[in-house]
Amino acid sequence: MESAIDFHNVSFTVQDKQILKMITGTFFKGKITTLVGPSGAGKTTLLKLCNGLLSPSAGQISINQQAIEQYEPTALRKQVGMALQAAPMITGTVFENLALPRTLQGKQLTQREAISYLHDVGLDDRFLNRTAQELSGGQQQKISIARTLINQSSILLLDEITSALDPQSVHDIESLITRINQKYQVTIIWITHNLRQALSIGHYTWVMMDGRLVESGDSSLLNAPTNPAVAQFIQGVKA
Ligand SMILES: Nc1ncnc2c1ncn2[C@@H]1O[C@H](COP(=O)(O)OP(=O)(O)OP(=O)(O)O)[C@@H](O)[C@H]1O
């Protein structure tokens, strides 16, 4: 299977604290991989290494078989999109929020394009002229995801994007991400604390603990982890 991102012996250290320790592994192209593990395990740090927000202290990362440091930063951000738990909205209309990636590049988004992206995330035309601030958390998250689509990124990084949402919105966002993955063959790396989500949505999973990748493979490993520490963590989450 083709790889979208490869980590080879990647470590990340801040002020003598080793946050990531010798991570080696592959995120496969066109697949959804979830990142799970206790708080502080290094999941967000690993995600930030994937789009160049952070650089490794040691080891190599390649994106689509090219060393990450060879990418021009703006090209890398375009290739690798990111959505966060708090979907950050600028003050203004939904249209202005959707157009942001283009505006930042001195380009424009047409009304027709904006509507097509709205439809992609399951919102109708009427949302275009609403102010972003009057939307629900789930709707803001959909706009935030639509905004990542505008760059036509081949890789999408998601950091706990459903943890602040009501169950219906969680379900909507899960279906949306699955659709995006299938329609555009986008590679998705998704940090989640929700094991049901990891099992139902993820093709693969990486379990991280204390800065290490302790187990990785098909998502079903979460049903039967071989590593005792992982088994204990999963029991704790379920309890
Ligand atoms: N810039 C930094 N300086 C010092 N310590 C940091 C820095 N960034 C992260 N850390 C520490 O590194 C560890 C990993 O943080 P990270 O946010 O990657 O974990 P996480 O697995 O995403 O946690 P959570 O599930 O709570 O979001 C934590 O102990 C955190 O306090």
Angle formed at CA 223 by CA 222 and CA 226, multiple of 5 degrees: 70
What is the structure's pLDDT at 196? 92
Q: What is the pLDDT of residues 12-29, one digit of tens each?
A: 999 999 999 999 999 999
What does the alpha-carbon distance between residue 221 and residue 23 come to, in Å, rounded to a whole number? 19
Write down the mean pLDDT value for the chain: 93
Q: What is the pLDDT of residues 106-139, one digit of tens each?
A: 899 999 999 999 998 889 999 999 999 999 989 9
Q: Cβ < 6 Å from ligand 1: which residues?
A: 14, 17, 19, 37, 39-45
Q: For the chain, which domains are there?
A: 3-85+154-238 (3.40.50.300)
Task: From the CA of 47, give the closest atom in ligand 1.
Answer: 18
Q: Provide the pairing of β-strand 17-28 with 3-14.
A: antiparallel
What is the structure's pLDDT at 193? 92
Task: From the CA of 208, give the closest atom in ligand 1.
Answer: 21
Cβ-in-10-Å burial (0-12, 13-18, 19+) of 239 comes to exposed
- Specify whether the CB–CB gap between 201 and 171 falls below 8 A: no
**Complex confidence, ipTM:** 0.94
Take atom 13 of ligand 1 and give the residue whose Cα is closest.
40
Q: What is the pLDDT of residues 211-234, one digit of tens each?
A: 999 999 999 999 999 999 999 999
